[in-house]
Structure 1
Amino acid sequence: MEIMEILKKTNAILNGHFLLSSGLHSDTYIQCAQALKYPEYAEMLGKALSEKFNEKPDYVVSPALGGLIIGYEVARGLKTPFLFTERNKEGVMELRRNFFIEENAKVIIIEDVITTGKSTLEVVKALEKYKPQIIGIGCIVNRSKKKDLNNIKIQSLVEIDAKTYEPDNCPLCKENIPAVKPGSRK
């Protein structure tokens, strides 16, 4: 089954007026959790994404919450350990739960959706103190139009060109269409 077919079939692609965690507004929201709630799709997407990487990592790392399921499935596909970052009380991403990465360990960071890359870069920053080799970034959907973040190549299953707007220049706001914030970041 095609990736877009899965996303559409599970209503993972929403249309309307959305407030993104980046602060931008958009007419499209990608809610991969709708597809990932089905174990057969989660496994299929994880395997497909794991096959995008030529080099086997020592760890797959994802940000909580959005990257947990797909990160785990990619790690399973690569037969490598899975770790995740969480926000501390100050809202800063960090490895917790006694997770640790050895210096020079090879790491792939996996997200569900990349829009601006903000949370992915927060994971990169959280891992800096361990001095790993970040060999790739992967996501189900890349809507950023970027091919890399911090010179780390992005592998995605699909690219979706969804419109984003600065809040001051949002045509949806000007039409008084109510905005919703469906994401996990507050």
Structure 2
Amino acid sequence: PPDPFFLSIFLCISVNCQSSSPVNECNKVELSLVVQFLYTRHRPIFDTILTKLAQRVPGISQVKSKTTEEGRVLLSFQDAAFSDPFLARHVSDGTIKMLAYLILLHDPKPHPLLCVEEPENQLYHSLLVELAEEFRTYARQGGQVFVSTHSPDFLNATTIDEVFWLTKKQGYTRVHRARNDEQLVAFMNDGDQMGYLWKQGLFPGVEP
């Protein structure tokens, strides 16, 4: 059976080994092995991931995995402006992280519950809108997605029905739904955005 949930922390893909899904092959799967798995066994999905990565990271024309003589699997990126590819260690953290999220969100066997912590780390702010839409698409296809964030830019990509916040008082944590706050609803109806409202201190009990 599939894992009941998947927790994403930075670039670590950490799950129990209970299925043939590429992100479930071992407790901490190297990204290069996942790329190799998708390339050889799920080529249409791999091609979709590569197309989206190229749209988000200008210049990237190809991503490959290769096996060294010692048996290590390395990830390489081809930039259209250069004849030789770059190994993953020479590529920006943002590029690697975007690739990891695209792989996670295009898993051939999606998880029913996906938890993501601060996806804004290492990513350029303009990419957060597209990443939020990827999470939204994942949810529409049947998965449930929880994202924790401290990024106004990421919040600006959300709707009022998608936002909740937590407050803690006297040892108890309370969940607040943005849709239930009349002031937030009024501002959003006037064309405002969630991230700007949060920065203005309009989320009761939360300091930006």
TM-score normalised according to structure 2 size: 0.28
Q: Which has the higher contact order (CA 8 A, sep 6+)?
A: 1
TM-score normalised according to structure 1 size: 0.30
Which has the higher Rg, Structure 1 or Structure 2? 2
User: Which structure has greater helix proportion?
Assistant: 2
User: Which structure has greater strand proportion?
Assistant: 1
